[in-house]
């Protein structure tokens, strides 16, 4: 196996407009796609459901992500999810990528306190790298897949499916010589 990269995509509680009083955006799903950069293939896929502690899943959120309040309530705690990322995916020592900086910033917000940040120091913004090779225009994951001529596999705004699709975009960048990390 070559160098492994964790591609992470999170879904968080959300509302149409502002959060209700006392509620905050928090991670309810962590999608993981492990990419073997040397072999140039996606080698693992994971979906970690996270129980919200300070918010509820709105009807808007369920419509967008497909995640119901009941499904999220059956997840593990955020602390357990972070530990699982470290244990199962070596998140504290393996480089990781996401589409944009939202995922990284959401983890930083939720780890502001007693919860230890689960990742190591190397985060790659795949959206920014893709934009560099495509005229500087940043676009959403679905648009980037169209630009790259790749199919959108699964459901958009499902963390596991989106991580899998971002993994395909990482491999597209590797093939074009535009990745530059661990290849």
Q: What is the pTM of this model?
A: 0.96
Residue 180 forms part of a structural domain? no
Q: Is residue 102 part of a domain?
A: yes
Which residues, in sequence order, are CB contacts of 27 under 8 Å at separation 6+?
Answer: 10, 11, 12, 50, 78, 81, 106, 107, 110
Does some domain include residue 118?
A: yes
In a domain, 62, yes or no: yes
- Dihedrals phi, psi of 125, to nearest 5 degrees: -85, 95
CA atoms within 13 A on the CB side of 22: 3
Is pLDDT at 159 greater than 80 in this prediction? yes
Rounded CA-CA distance 129/10 in Å is 19
Q: Which domain holds residue 27?
A: 4-175
How many domains, the chain? 1
The answer to the question of residue 181 being in a domain is no
pLDDT at residue 180, as a whole number: 83
- Identify the CATH number of the domain in which residue 79 sits: 3.30.420.10
Does residue 183 lie in a domain region?
A: no
pLDDT digits (tens, 9 = 90+) for 93-146: 999 999 999 999 999 999 987 889 999 999 999 999 999 999 888 999 999 999
């Amino acid at each position: 196996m070559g160098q492994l990269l964790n591609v992470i995509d999170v879904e968080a509680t959300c509302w149409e407009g502002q959060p209700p009083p006392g509620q905050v955006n928090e991670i309810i799903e962590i999608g993981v796609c492990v990419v073997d950069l040397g072999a140039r293939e996606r080698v693992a896929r994971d979906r970690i459901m996270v129980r919200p502690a300070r918010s509820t899943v709105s009807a808007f959120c369920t419509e967008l992500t497909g995640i119901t309040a009941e499904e999220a309530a059956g997840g593990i705690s955020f602390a357990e999810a972070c530990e699982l990322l470290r244990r199962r995916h070596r998140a504290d020592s393996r480089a990781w990528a996401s589409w944009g900086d939202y995922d990284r910033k959401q983890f930083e917000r939720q780890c502001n306190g007693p919860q230890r940040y689960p990742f190591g120091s190397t985060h790659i913004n795949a959206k920014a790298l893709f934009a560099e090779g495509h005229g500087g225009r940043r676009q959403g994951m679905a648009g980037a897949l169209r630009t790259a001529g790749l199919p959108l596999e699964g459901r958009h705004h499902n963390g596991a499916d989106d991580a899998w699709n971002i993994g395909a975009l990482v491999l597209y960048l590797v093939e074009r010589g535009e990745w530059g990390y661990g290849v």
